Structure 1
Amino acid sequence: MILIIVVVVIFVLFLGLVAFLRIFSKNEDHDGRDEYESSKFGEVGEKYVANELNEIVKKYGGYLYNNFCFEDEKGFSSEIDHILITKGGVFVIETKTNKGKIIGNEDDKFWICIKKDYQDDKQFKNPIIQNQGHINHLRRMLNHNPPKMISMVIFPIADISSINSPIVHNMGSALSFIADLTINSKKSSDFAKNINERIKKIQDNYSISKKRHLQNIHDHF
């Protein structure tokens, strides 16, 4: 029975990845795609990851927040791609939809995505540092006795074989990592519920639109 469940999960994951790659291929055919097109593809990638994380919630219980935008009282804001709360912990997740080979170290300011034939290599901000900034901001918002948060960076389709960090995952390793911590957790059944109530208060009182978040970035940086 367990074997059948594992096979079904792998098959569903495979179908989702195939659909995602088809969409990506259509976008890759247009080398001159503008920032809007690139942004829309990023949204597709985040939705794919969100769907996979939702399967964790269905199977093991928990709570999932996607595109979690919030602003503090000083006008500084953050956008977290995914916050997953299970008995295994609070997972703060950054999704990167790069295609190519990813090069970088944990303490580098920038990483590089090497594409085919070394054309159009892309430099981007270190997502580990970026995600830690999100975690620090969220912890400040929680204020009193914030829980430990587990940072994860997920590259659904990129080659991350050169990245030496337990924080960075492909989709399969991310799901296995979360499931393992959740299954083997000794936390009480109320852990996820209590944390969710605190996160929900931030969403209810401090959430903002993505448009406003982008304006905040422009104003402050």
Structure 2
Amino acid sequence: MNAENSMISGFYEGILITLKMFMTSTAFPVVVLFVILWIILQWKMPVIKGNYGEWVVKTKLRKLGDAYTVFHDVYIPNGERGLTQVDHIVTSVYGVFVIETKHYSGWIFGNEFKPYWTQVIYKRKTKMYNPIRQNYGHVQALLTYIGREEMQDVCSIIAFSSNSTFKFNKGFTSAHVIQFPDLLTTISQYKEQHISEDTVKGINEKLAELLALYKNDRKLFKAEHMQSIRKAKDAKQTARSHTSRAKKMSKTDASLLYTACPKCNGQLTLKTGRYGKFYGCSNYPDCRNTESVNLDQHRRSV
């Protein structure tokens, strides 16, 4: 037993001696610095990937030519005392293009009308909010800001990284879902003039004003944007709470609950817009919440 204890003691003493030698060597500070940098890199990797994706898209959009005006990273009032951030807006007489970029890799599964999509990398699955819905909110905020209820020539584009692989079962009718290399081709396919030059000029002036404000008070705009995101999350939690309570109610009471707006308790009514039918709140424009027509199916299944 003593021999065994001596062996164990000698083993740990050897480790301590090795550590002391390593810590006093010239290589120790270099290794520590490398580890710290690696930790920071892993922590900031999502931001780095996102910034790289934005840079790739900006580089491509510069090649559009003088007929187009491009705006990047635009914060637009969303009508709910907050801001929504739009990655890129391209204006021209051929149309206005609102672009949401996703620098995601792996397999992308999604449906036009479902609230969430899925990213799969090997066996790891990650949910993301439906980018078509997300960009629809951006389009609506833009229309409100430029003073138009509807505009037939606003095009929604969702651009994913080339490292992604689409696994969609159906196509999309309300937005272009593409990869970065297809961005210029998608925009350039619109060749007929549908918007007057004066209208485009007015839109550009309004967006330039926003960018000027953002440049002067960048921190304030970002803080307001984050506050908007927090409010949206709180609203979703409230809606989920309503759904949970409805499951415990009778079918009649539950169906009545699902006709109420989860944000302001107004009445949801069937409306028709550019992208088809949807449920809109009766308190519009104070409340801009919308629900998919699939809500009917949800009611019948309750």
Query: In the aligned structure 1, how far is the partner of 2:207 from the partner of 2:151?
Result: 11
Say which SS state the counterpart of residue 135 (structure 1) adopts: helix
Further displaced range: 204-213 or 135-144: 204-213
The answer (yes or no) to whether the contact 1:160–1:170 under 8 Å persists in 2 is no
Q: 1:204: how far off?
A: 4.5
* Equivalent residue, structure 2, for 1:164: 171
Are 2:203 and 1:195 aligned? yes
Query: In the aligned structure 1, how far is the partner of 2:57 from the partner of 2:94?
Result: 19
Are 2:34 and 1:38 aligned? no
User: Match for 2:131: what amino acid?
Assistant: P
User: Match for 1:33: what amino acid?
Assistant: Q
Are 2:137 and 1:133 aligned? yes
The two structures have a TM-score, normalised by structure 1, of 0.72
The verdict on how the C-alpha distance between 1:113 and 1:215 changes in structure 2, with shifts beyond 3 A counting, is same
Say which SS state the counterpart of residue 74 (structure 2) adopts: strand
The answer (yes or no) to whether the contact 1:61–1:86 under 8 Å persists in 2 is yes
Are 2:227 and 1:218 aligned? no
* Equivalent residue, structure 1, for 2:118: 112
The answer (yes or no) to whether the contact 2:77–2:145 under 8 Å persists in 1 is no
Q: Deviation per CA, 1:89-114: give whole Å up to 9, x if none.
A: 11001000110111011001110112
Say which SS state the counterpart of residue 82 (structure 1) adopts: strand
The verdict on how the C-alpha distance between 1:203 and 1:73 changes in structure 2, with shifts beyond 3 A counting, is farther
* Equivalent residue, structure 2, for 1:92: 98
CA RMSD of aligned residues (A): 2.8
Gaps of 5+ in 1: 1-28
The answer (yes or no) to whether the contact 1:87–1:188 under 8 Å persists in 2 is yes
The verdict on how the C-alpha distance between 1:53 and 1:161 changes in structure 2, with shifts beyond 3 A counting, is farther
The verdict on how the C-alpha distance between 1:67 and 1:213 changes in structure 2, with shifts beyond 3 A counting, is same
User: Match for 2:119: what amino acid?
Assistant: C
Query: In the aligned structure 1, how far is the partner of 2:106 from the partner of 2:161?
Result: 11
User: Match for 1:119: what amino acid?
Assistant: K
The answer (yes or no) to whether the contact 1:88–1:178 under 8 Å persists in 2 is no
Q: Deviation per CA, 1:59-102: give whole Å up to 9, x if none.
A: 24221111111335752110000001122111001000110111
One of 61, 64, 71 as aligned partner of 1:53: 61
Q: Deviation per CA, 1:105-153: give whole Å up to 9, x if none.
A: 10011101121xx332221110000000111122122224664421110
* Equivalent residue, structure 2, for 1:19: none
Query: In the aligned structure 2, how far is the partner of 1:111 from the partner of 1:204?
Result: 35
Are 2:190 and 1:185 aligned? no
The two structures have a TM-score, normalised by structure 2, of 0.54
* Residues matched between the structures, number: 186
Say which SS state the counterpart of residue 209 (structure 1) adopts: helix
The verdict on how the C-alpha distance between 1:199 and 1:100 changes in structure 2, with shifts beyond 3 A counting, is same
Gaps of 5+ in 2: 1-37, 234-302
Say which SS state the counterpart of residue 75 (structure 1) adopts: coil
User: Match for 2:177: what amino acid?
Assistant: V
* Equivalent residue, structure 1, for 2:159: 154
Say which SS state the counterpart of residue 185 (structure 1) adopts: coil
Query: In the aligned structure 1, how far is the partner of 2:227 from the partner of 2:104?
Result: 24
Relative contact order, higher structure (CA 8 A, sep 6+): 1
Q: Determine which structure has more spread, i.e. the larger CA radius of gyration.
A: 2
Query: In the aligned structure 2, how far is the partner of 1:108 from the partner of 1:73?
Result: 24
The answer (yes or no) to whether the contact 1:49–1:156 under 8 Å persists in 2 is no
* Equivalent residue, structure 2, for 1:24: none
Say which SS state the counterpart of residue 165 (structure 2) adopts: coil
